[in-house]
Each structure stands twice: as C-alpha cells, then as structure tokens.
C-alpha cells in the first residue's frame, strides 16, 4: 500500500485533523515529529503539514488553552462547527472539510481517536481517493450504544494505514476483515505527550495542588462526561450519591466537562461540595499533575485509563466495558461500572494498600510519533 504523490514536487502533503480535546493531546507529538523530520534533510523526504481544527470543541479551556500549553501551531483552518446533534456535527464537518481537501489536494489525511471529527474527515478523504491514516485504530468496546464505537468501526473500515496502541486492536481489526498489511503496531501517541512533560506532571509542589489545598496521595480525582453516565438524570444522581459518600473518607477533586456541568444544572442535582471540589476543565499539565499525585482516579474517560496505567495510579473506570483492555491486563485499571458496592469496595482496597500494580504496555515509550512518521515516509 503506497501513498502516491499527487504533486510534482517532492514534499508529501499531509492534513492533520483534530476536533476535540483528546485529539489535541494526541496530535501534538505528530506535528512535532513532522516538523523535525522536515528539518532533517538527510535520508528522509520532506513533509508539509496543514492542521485542520473542526471546532467540535471551542471553549478556550477545552481547546485554545491546550494548543498553547502543548505548543501546537495555530490551525491553518478552523471549520467552526461547534456543538450539535451527531448528524448535524458530522454533516457540517464533512461539508466544510471537503472544501479544504479540494483546495489543498493532500496526499494523506491523518485522523486521531474516535470522535465525530475523526469519522467525518475520514469519510470525506476516502471518497476523494485521498489516503487516510488512523492513529489509535482498532480499539473496540463492542458497545454500539457509544457514539465513539460507531466512529471507530467505520473509520477503520475506510482507513489505509491503521496505527494501533495495543495487541487487542490488531485482533479486532483482523476479525473485521482488515488486511494485516494495513496494520502497524506503533504504541501510544498520548503517552508520547505525557512522557515529554513527565517532570512537571510529577511535581509534588505544583501550583495546582496549592491552589486547591491538596496534598500528594491524600485525595482522589474524578472525571465524568460519557453520555451513558451523565445524560440520564437518575444515573447521574446515583453516581453522585456514591461520590459524596467516598468524599467523606477522602477528598475528591472533580474537573468537570461542560457537558456534565450542563447535565448537573438540568437535573437540579444539589451536590454537597465540602469535600467534593468541582472545578472547570483544567489545562493538560494541571490535570495530569493532579492525576499523578492522587491516591486514585475515578473516570469514564478513555485516555485517562491509559495515563494512569503509565503513571502507576490506581484507576476505577466508571463503565462496564473498555476498548483499552491492556490497561486492565497489565495496567492499574479496574472496571467498576455504576455499581456503588463495587466502587466502594475497590476504594477501600486501594486505601488499605491493596491497589493493582502496573507494568508499562509495549511501545508506550515516548517514540510512537517517530515510528508513525517513519512508516509514512517509507510508504511515500
């Protein structure tokens, strides 16, 4: 499978597409590597890269702040899509992204993760006969109620290069009839970003700990934003009654996603906040610093299951499935769902010193972006 040059000039033209917060964290090392490899005039060919931000996430705290912190160059295009239903969001991205592809005529479109922007951009590129590379391919929760699962399955079917983070992804892709030749086991770009910033992430005297009056290992961190947990009034209320109980044993800090804040307001939920600190979305480094210094994390995020595994922090995942089984097999992750008995039992285990020990998954070594760009170069 070759990427054929569509242009007379030598440089390969790539468009990197991002839309939502976790995408920015994953694309940062790729952009850095592309820029490094273009400067490196030795064996490698030059690559030019344009960044397209769909605008799926638009709040400064969810978007601009992360670009600034991770020194990602300003996007060349911002499609300004914003919030909306799945159909509306996906459709609007497709309409606008097609115009960009017509103008830029890229050799390759790179997409990351499993958000609506990932699928919308892949569909446009594939139909225009532009090669598609999917970073973080093959992950499966086998739960088609999750919009992300639909995005994953469909993106992988039309992608030409599938870059995977863990062995389960290879198996899933082969089971779905995808050719072995398209699959590349490269590791995890999100962990590239984490390892690059490891020293500030691990700092035990950070400003963010001071700001909230937290001491290392004496608090838990919570994140919650999945529609299956927050969109239903009864479920969100039940979960918060568990968190309130846990917060009486150990303080909890909760950087809340805008979607969750909206749902809390809508449901009229009154949270007793003495020991449960609710704050706006935090920056990337502040959030990871709070994770790295916590006693344990409760989350329904995908990326945080991986970050806690690398940092050796116990992670209780508030879901009944995970598309990232390596975090359970070798990492610190335990699935607890919304089961209050199970959540409380695991919290007690951790506080009693019986937390799971971690190993680092293969290739989660900070060099994944380098592997991806080397593969792309080789195929051009």
Residue 56 contacts ligand UD1 per CB under 6 A: yes
Other CB atoms within 10 A of residue 1 CB: 9
Which one among 64, 91, 147, 312 touches ligand UD1, defined by CB under 6 A?
147
Query: Helices 368-379 and 21-39 sit at what angle, rounded to 10 degrees?
Result: 60
Name which position in 54, 66, 111, 116 contacts ligand UD1 (CB under 6 A): 116
> Minimum distance between the CB of residue 229 and ligand UD1, rounded to whole angstroms?
11
Q: Is 370 in the site for ligand UD1 (CB under 6 A)?
A: no
Instruction: Quickly count: other Cβ atoms within 10 Å of residue 319's Cβ.
Output: 21
Tokens standing for 125?
A: 């590129």
Is 21 an interacting residue with respect to ligand UD1 (CB under 6 A)? yes
> Which token pair is 142?
């086998």
Min separation Cβ 114 and ligand UD1, Å: 6
Among 115, 264, 282, 330, the residue binding ligand UD1 under the rule CB under 6 A is 115
Sheet of 296-299: strand order equals 276-279, 252-255, 220-222, 296-299, 315-317, 333-335
Footprint (CB under 6 A) of ligand UD1, residues 69-98: 83
Q: Which is nearer to ligand UD1, 56 or 165 (CB)?
A: 56
Which of 202, 259 has the CB closer to ligand UD1?
259
Q: What would the two tokens of residue 324 be?
A: 């990232």
Which stretch, 108-116, 198-206, 308-316, 351-359, contacts ligand UD1 (CB under 6 A)?
108-116
Catalytic residue chosen out of the listed positions 53, 57, 134, 225: 225
Q: How far is the CB of 284 from ligand UD1 (least distance, A)?
A: 12
Select the residue interacting with ligand UD1 from 58, 185, 212, 363 (CB under 6 A): 58
Instruction: List b or e across 77-110, with b for residues whose CB sees 16 or more CB atoms inside 10 angstroms.
Output: bebebeeeeeeebbebbbebbbebbeebebbbbb
Which CB atom, from 87 or from 177, has the smaller least distance to ligand UD1? 87
Quickly count helices (H) and strands (E) in the chain. Answer: 17, 13
Q: Is 148 in the site for ligand UD1 (CB under 6 A)?
A: yes
Between 58 and 363, name the residue whose CB sits nearer to ligand UD1: 58
| Cα 137 from Cα 185, distance rounded (Å) | 10
Cβ atoms of 269 and 232 within 8 Å: the answer is no
Among 64, 167, 258, 283, binds ligand UD1 (CB under 6 A): 258
Select the residue interacting with ligand UD1 from 13, 50, 53, 57 (CB under 6 A): 57
Query: Is 257 an active-site residue?
Result: no
As measured in angstroms, the least distance from the Cβ of 350 to ligand UD1 is 25
| 113-121, 177-185, 196-204, 363-371 -> range binding ligand UD1 (CB under 6 A) | 113-121
**Pairwise CA distance, residues 255 & 248, whole Å:** 18
CB of 293 closer than 8 Å to CB of 216? yes
Which is nearer to ligand UD1, 269 or 351 (by Cβ)? 269
Q: How far is the CB of 60 from ligand UD1 (least distance, A)?
A: 8
Query: Applying CB under 6 A, does 259 fall inside the site for ligand UD1?
Result: yes
Between residues 83 and 175, which has the closer beta carbon with respect to ligand UD1?
83
H helix runs in the chain, sequence order: 21-39, 64-69, 86-104, 116-127, 147-158, 167-175, 189-196, 198-202, 207-211, 227-230, 233-247, 258-267, 284-292, 303-311, 326-329, 340-351, 368-379
Instruction: Point out the residues that are catalytic.
Output: 225
Residues contributing to the site for ligand UD1 (CB under 6 A): 20-22, 56-59, 62, 83, 114-116, 147-148, 225, 257-259, 262
């Amino acid at each position: 499978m070759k990427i054929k040059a569509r242009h007379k000039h030598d440089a390969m033209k790539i468009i990197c597409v991002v839309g939502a917060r976790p995408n920015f964290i994953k694309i940062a090392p790729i952009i850095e590597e592309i820029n490094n490899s273009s400067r490196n005039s030795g064996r490698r060919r030059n690559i030019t890269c344009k960044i397209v931000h769909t605008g799926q996430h638009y709040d400064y705290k969810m978007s601009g702040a992360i670009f600034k912190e991770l020194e990602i160059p300003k996007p060349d295009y911002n499609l300004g899509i914003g919030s909306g239903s799945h159909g509306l969001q996906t459709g609007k991205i497709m309409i606008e992204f097609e115009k960009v592809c017509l103008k830029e005529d890229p050799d390759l479109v790179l997409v990351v993760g499993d958000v609506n922007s990932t699928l919308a951009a892949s569909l446009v590129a594939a139909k225009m006969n532009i090669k598609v590379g999917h970073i973080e391919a093959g992950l499966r929760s086998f739960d088609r109620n999750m919009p992300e699962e639909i995005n994953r399955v469909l993106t992988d079917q039309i992608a030409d290069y599938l870059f995977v983070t863990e062995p389960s992804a290879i198996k899933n892709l082969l089971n779905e009839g995808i050719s072995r030749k398209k699959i590349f086991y490269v590791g995890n770009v999100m962990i590239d970003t984490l390892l690059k910033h490891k020293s500030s992430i691990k700092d035990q005297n950070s400003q963010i700990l001071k700001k909230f009056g937290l001491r290392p290992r004496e608090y838990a961190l919570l994140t919650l934003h999945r529609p299956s947990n927050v969109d239903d009034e009864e479920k969100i209320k039940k979960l918060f009654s568990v968190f309130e109980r846990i917060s009486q044993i150990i303080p909890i800090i909760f950087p809340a996603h805008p979607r969750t804040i909206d749902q809390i307001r809508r449901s009229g939920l009154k949270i007793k906040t003495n020991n449960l600190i609710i704050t706006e979305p935090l920056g990337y480094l502040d959030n990871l610093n709070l994770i790295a210094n916590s006693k344990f994390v409760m989350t329904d995020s995908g990326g945080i299951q991986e970050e806690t595994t690398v940092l050796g922090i116990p992670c209780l995942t508030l879901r009944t499935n995970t598309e990232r089984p390596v975090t359970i097999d070798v990492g610190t992750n335990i699935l607890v769902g919304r089961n209050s008995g199970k959540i409380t039992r695991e919290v007690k285990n951790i506080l009693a010193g019986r937390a799971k020990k971690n190993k680092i998954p293969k290739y989660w070594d900070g060099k994944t972006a380098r592997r991806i760009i080397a593969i792309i170069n080789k195929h051009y």
